Amino acid sequence: MTQINDQYLKHVEVNNPELLEILNEYSKLHTLEGFEKNCHLTAREHKRQRPHWMGMEYLQDVKDQGAGHEGFPDMIVGYNFKLADRTHTFFEKDADPIFKRDLTHKLSDLNARMMNFLSVKHNALCAVYPPGGFISWHSNHNAPGYNLIFSYSEGGDGHFSYVHPETKEIVKCEDPKGKWTCKAAYFGSWTEQDKVLYHAAETEDSWRCTVSYVFDMSDTSEEFREMVLEDISSF
């Protein structure tokens, strides 16, 4: 099933020059001198197992676990730069200290600028996927909220897939080549069965980057979220 716009997931044009200036810094991270030498690629040994982690059998296994599945992905092959979660490894053990310092400062600055532009408090994901990289099927039911998912693909051979909560069909959102996209979606909790959104993403032969942010549901109205979406698409 090809991508659609409805109450479960909405595609938003990314046109705002100020936002694109920030996002383009993310898409160039992997081109920094020393990036692959100094940055830690999570679970590189599982790259060949991508068909399993992205497959229908594994998706059904996650569904069958129900609330017993944590909600977060079991597997990601990529460079994970989520600043709020330091349980994972950013850099290799022998990474150059100057490179580590400079990239950490850069990521912190970009994240602060993104949160200021979007008026959000929570960064859900910051990942750079090498060719063949992926994030396995999961639902984020343990961290429900309204998400903004920004993605960029160098070659346009990546995609984001999700299970439509109503039709139960797999919806595949193809990445355009060299262009940022934004998906606005609500990831429901396990108590909201009609809003649980299983999703995954992968890339074939191109570098792919995703940064995702979550609105604070306690103080953000639907009207405010729509204003932010308008800002994203505004020239």
pLDDT in tens, 101-159: 999 999 999 999 999 999 998 999 999 999 999 999 999 999 999 999 999 999 999 99
Question: What are the strands of the beta sheet with 134-138, ordered from one edge?
Answer: 76-77, 134-138, 199-203, 158-163, 170-174
The count of structural domains within the chain is 1
Question: Does residue 112 fall inside a structural domain?
Answer: yes
Q: What DSSP string describes 25-44?
A: HHHTGGGSTTHHHHB--BTG
Question: Does residue 1 fall inside a structural domain?
Answer: no
Q: What is the pTM of this model?
A: 0.94
User: What is the domain extent for residue 149?
Assistant: 9-233
Are 152 and 209 in contact by the 8 Å Cβ rule? The answer is yes
Question: Does residue 56 fall inside a structural domain?
Answer: yes
Question: Does residue 103 fall inside a structural domain?
Answer: yes
Question: Does residue 3 fall inside a structural domain?
Answer: no
For the cut 80, the answer to whether the pLDDT of residue 86 exceeds it is no
Radius of gyration of the chain (CA): 17
Question: Does residue 43 fall inside a structural domain?
Answer: yes
Which of 117, 125, 119, 148 lies closest to 214, judged by CA?
Answer: 148
Q: Pairing mode, if any, of strands 199-203 and 134-138?
A: antiparallel
- Residue range 7-63, pLDDT digits in tens: 899 999 999 999 999 999 999 999 999 999 999 999 989 999 999 999 999 999 999
Question: Does residue 201 fall inside a structural domain?
Answer: yes
Residues, the chain: 235
Question: Does residue 22 fall inside a structural domain?
Answer: yes
The confidence band for 231, taking pLDDT boundaries of 50, 70 and 90, is very high
Q: At 45, is the secondary structure helix, strand, or coil?
A: helix
